[in-house]
Amino acid sequence: MASVEIRDVRKAFGSTQVIHGVNIGINDGEFVILVGPSGCGKSTLLRMIAGLENISGGEIRIGERVVNDVPPKERDIAMVFQNYALYPHMTVADNMAFSMKLRNAPKSEIQARVSKAAGILGLEKLLDRYPRQLSGGQRQRVAMGRAIVRDPQVFLFDEPLSNLDAKLRVQMRTEIKELHQRLKTTTVYVTHDQIEAMTMADKIVVMHDGIVEQMGAPLELYDRPANLFVAGFIGSPA
């Protein structure tokens, strides 16, 4: 695992500035949630940490390393998206192994990692199935399995539960937290759902129109919101 340091980071698309000098410090092993309304810049910030979007100003560090110019493949991170497209023609095991194969890892190591990840996520009996033979929750677990197999220093999640029904969403929140307690991998998790943020985060970062309104532990924000925006956002039902 590693810390992630976001210093005065800006982003413009053409002449439109969408992130205005954001500062966030994320400790080793911390589970941090970026929360805020649609369009406030959560995905853009996450994509800049992943290296999928170049940054217009400022600095991002992963561990000791400034990664501004480091391509995504060379950053030690794994990302789980909302539309976690699995490869339909590959089994669960092959889906999980794929990124390791791309990196030319030895076969024995790939097998060991896949079976360890399958054990952690309860996928042992599903390894030979194809994605179409899985439920929504099982597919989501495979998507997480792909990330775990890489054993990255940082996990990035972008609204990973928003395509699931309400019951499954609650169950997966618990599973993701248990996973984090077990692996202790530094995690940056994006959601627009304040209940998800309040129940899962070590630290919440409330964003609004490309700035950070407030940052702190869930109860701290709940008890002492810095302004009306935070009070309204955290206090209102999802």
Contact region for ligand ADP (CB under 6 A) — 2-10, 37-45, 100-108, 196-204?
37-45
Minimum distance of ligand ADP from residue 106's CB (angstroms)? 38
* Residue closer to Mg ion (CB basis): 114 or 155: 155
Q: Which residue from 8, 23, 39, 238 is in contact with ligand ADP, where contact means CB under 6 A?
A: 39
What proportions of the chain, in percent to the nearest 5, are helix, strand and coil?
A: 40, 25, 35
Q: Is position 208 an interface residue for ligand ADP (rule: CB under 6 A)?
A: no
Give, rounded to a whole angstrom, the gap between the first and last alpha carbons of the chain. Answer: 32
Residue 161: which of 49, 50, 81, 41 has the closest Cα?
Answer: 81
Residue 70 interacts, among ligand ADP, Mg ion, none and using kind-specific CB cut-offs from 5 to 8 Å, with none
Q: Is position 42 an interface residue for ligand ADP (rule: CB under 6 A)?
A: yes
Residue 41 interacts, among Mg ion, ligand ADP, none and using kind-specific CB cut-offs from 5 to 8 Å, with ligand ADP
Q: Where are the beta strands (DSSP E) in the chain?
A: 4-13, 16-26, 31-35, 57-62, 65-66, 77-80, 154-158, 186-191, 203-208, 211-216
Minimum distance of ligand ADP from residue 26's CB (angstroms)? 18
Each residue 31-50 as x (binds Mg ion by CB under 5 A) or -, in order, gives ------------x-------
Angle between helices 136-149 and 107-121 (to 10 degrees): 140
